[in-house]
Amino acid sequence: MADNNGGNSNSGGASTNTAEVQIQIPGPSKNEAPAAQEAPAGSSQARNCKWWFVVATDALFLIVGQTSATLLGRYYYSQGGSSKWLSAFLQTAGFPILFFGLFFFPSKSSSGETPIGKVAMIYIVLGLIMTADNIMYSHGLMYLPVSTYSLICASQLAFNVIFSYVLNSQKLTGLIMNSVVLLTLSASLLGDNHESYGYNGVSRGKYLLGFLLTLGASGTYSLILSLMQLTFENVVKKQTFSAVLNMQIYTAFVATFASLIGLFASGEWKDLKGEMDTFQSGQFSYLMTLVWTSVSWQVASVGMVGLIFEVSSLFSNVISIFALPIVPLFGVMVFHDKMNGVKIIAMLISIWGFNSYVYQHYLDNKKARSA
């Protein structure tokens, strides 16, 4: 969250997971503004409808992918899975799918060459931070009910605002600060939710550890997104879809390789065969769970990347947060999580905070159109 399981990431993700890469990339409207003024009204309206269709499709990919990946991750643990490093590995292992995006959106030559050595070092550092983020999310999903886990992930928007202000010079408004306070309060309520301590035999200590690690993962995910935006603005300096895909692919490659090392170094790989044999729903279900978890994170990642390219990383993160209230409802239906009064209040506060953030985004767009 990536939920990640799966991303932002100015969140968010990742998810993305993988779902997890969101960079502030101005939409193509800036470059096309002069032409748009000269174009006929009908042509402009058709282009606007096409843009909204693409944005809606990307948002659907993000919501479906993130929700599916989170539920499949919880299903893996509920059926007897226990490898946290494998769970972290799955959040980025499906990155080769994104090479199809590079095929359809190839890189264009530019006059200014990006320093390869510096970019490679940035990819490595971000990939390693992403690995730490994924393993924290994996611990949280193992120790917490999926409803509690998803609502805590809503705090990534609050972290996103803080890091964006410090690293990306984002202006803070009253509505944004209101969103930060509400989302923080929502996560705090869940941190002291005594009725979840006995979930699946999880002790109070492990529950609190899961809460703290999920909260830490949300903050780390937001830091990753701000650092990526900073990299695009000061190092990469390209506003192309292929540049965004390259960032996603190579950081995911580093994170996948690091997770693979962790899987073998921890000795968890020795238990995978026995884990598959004892998986409650069978070996085939075990393999399908792993495959579709990885695919789901990449579906979410494609949605995130598309929203980054068409709108902004902030909007992508907002859609990611919008999907979170959906997960607890499925958690109650599929895993029979308890939806007690504290969780309901936390979810309502989270939705209130999300709406406050969306309204600020609406005001900003309205102001930009009238300018």
SS3 letters across the chain: CEEEECCCCCCCCCEECCECCCCCCCCCHHHHHHHHHHCCHHHHHHHHHHHHHHHHHHHHHHHHHHHHHHHHHHHHHHCCCCCHHHHHHHCCCCHHHHHHHHHHCCCCCCCCCCCHHHHHHHHHHHHHHHHHHHHHHHHHHHHCCHHHHHHHHCCHHHHHHHHHHHHHCCCCCHHHHHHHHHHHHHHHHHHCCHHHCCHHHCCHHHHHHHHHHHHHHHHHHHHHHHHHHHHHHHHHCCCCHHHHHHHHHHHHHHHHHHHHHHHHHCCHHHHHHHHHHCCCCCHHHHHHHHHHHHHHHHHHHHHHHHHHHHCCHHHHHHHHHHHCCHHHHHHHHHHCCCCCHHHHHHHHHHHHHHHHHHHHHHHHHHHHHHC
* Residue 2 confidence (pLDDT): 45
* Mean pLDDT calculated for residue range 222-251: 80
- Interacting residues of 157 by C-beta distance below 8 A, sequence separation 6+: 11, 179, 180, 183, 222, 317, 318, 321, 353, 354, 357
Is residue 93 within 8 Å of 294, Cβ to Cβ?
yes
| pLDDT class of 187 with cuts at 50, 70, 90 | low
Burial class (CB in 10 A: 0-12, 13-18, 19+), 216: middle
* Mean pLDDT calculated for residue range 159-181: 79
Higher-confidence residue: 214 or 158?
214
Alpha carbon dihedral 265, 91, 23, 355, in 10-degree steps, equals -130
* Residue 23 confidence (pLDDT): 38
* Residue 199 confidence (pLDDT): 55
SS3 letters across 160-186: HHHHHHHHHCCCCCHHHHHHHHHHHHH
pLDDT in tens, 282-304: 999 999 999 999 989 888 877 87
Burial class (CB in 10 A: 0-12, 13-18, 19+), 103: exposed
The HSE-up count of residue 368 (CA atoms within 13 Å, CB side) is 9
Q: Provide the residue type at 8 as one letter.
A: N
pLDDT in tens, 54-80: 888 888 988 899 889 988 988 898 888
> What value does the mean pLDDT of the chain take?
77
* Residue 136 confidence (pLDDT): 93
* Residue 108 confidence (pLDDT): 63
* Mean pLDDT calculated for residue range 214-243: 82
Most trustworthy range by pLDDT among 14-18, 232-236, 273-277: 273-277
pLDDT at 148 over 90: no
Higher-confidence residue: 321 or 228?
228
* Mean pLDDT calculated for residue range 95-118: 74
* Residue 90 confidence (pLDDT): 92
Higher-confidence residue: 302 or 37?
302
pLDDT at 220 over 80: yes
Higher-confidence residue: 24 or 72?
72
* Residue 116 confidence (pLDDT): 84
* Residue 11 confidence (pLDDT): 41
pLDDT at 42 over 70: no
* Residue 33 confidence (pLDDT): 44
Min mean pLDDT across 58-67, 141-150, 249-258, 322-331 is at: 322-331
